Homo-oligomer: A and B are copies of this chain.
Amino acid sequence: MRRSGFNGILHTNFITNERGTSMEKLIEKSEYLHYINDNDTLLVGGFGLSGTPLTLIDELADSSKKGLTIVSNNLGEAGKGLGKLLLSKNIKKAKGSYFTSNRDAVKAWSDGELEIELIPQGTLAEAVRCGGAGIGGFYTKTAVGTKLAEGKDVKVIDGETYILEKAIKGDVSLIKAMKADTLGNLIYDHTGRNFNAVMATAGKIVIAEVDEIVEAGSFSPQEVETPHVYVDYIVMNKYVKKGGKYVEHS
């Protein structure tokens, strides 16, 4: 069910993609920016550059959106993926598990231009899952007794010590799947599933970038990895995979 969030008029009904598949949720790549406001929290799928919505990120980098909080495992690499948003100055804050590998992120943080909240990778995944599952928080073993547990509630349950981690939700989720069917069911490419499956559940509006759209019924019910209920809009990937990497459409 399409969610509200933008009251303008969009010609989104039954857009037909290049393969002739008609689909209600399909929108042009530039359109999705209507759903993003300054200072929003965006949940972005991907692990490094794998399973990353490159097209959506490009649009965002070209936009004037500002003050965004990005929740994602990484900020891509320097100048690539979410790394582009650092250069384009759209981001105020990043929440994730590993930013060291992007020198631009390290520099922006050092220069006081980027706030960073470091979250263990498993805690991040679970917190986002909880955000999508109506769970307010959870007690985890991870990070007990470390700097990352400072200020967090501690509780002993059945003799084991846990810290409380709050659920994470977003205004908009930007995810990347390999294929969508015409209802919006998604399947991912191998380990490209990573954070995308949980990010899909925890945004008020969920935009999925996909390589291909197929007819509903093409996926077996067992193989659907993200049911269509979680997906509001679909944007076609402008890149194509060649030699295992996404390159510009030629």
Contacts and interface: CB of A to CB of B under 8 A. Distances in A.
Interface of A: 126, 130, 133-142, 155, 157-158, 160, 162, 166-167, 187, 190, 221-223, 225
Given A139-B138, A140-B136, A141-B134, A158 B166 contact: yes
Contact of A136 (B135, B162, B187): B162
Nearest first, the 10 closest Cβ-Cβ pairs linking A and B are A136-B157, A136-B139, A136-B162, A138-B138, A137-B139, A135-B138, A134-B141, A137-B157, A135-B140, A157-B166
B141 A158 contact: no
A77 B147 CA distance: 52
Contacts of A138: 130, 135-139
Which of A130, A138, A141, A160 has most B Cβ within 10 Å?
A: A138
A229 B158 CA distance: 25
A26 to B, nearest CB: 24
A204 to B, nearest CB: 14
A5 to B, nearest CB: 19
Contact of A223 (B137, B166, B222): B222
Contacts of A187: 222
Contacts of A142: 134
A167 to B, nearest CB: 7
Contacts of A190: 221
A139 B157 CA distance: 14
A139 B130 CA distance: 9
28 contacts: A126-B133, A130-B138, A134-B140, A134-B141, A134-B142, A135-B138, A135-B139, A135-B140, A135-B141, A135-B162, A136-B138, A136-B139, A136-B141, A136-B155, A136-B157, A136-B160, A136-B162, A137-B138, A137-B139, A137-B162, A138-B139, A157-B167, A158-B166, A187-B222, A190-B221, A222-B223, A222-B225, A223-B223
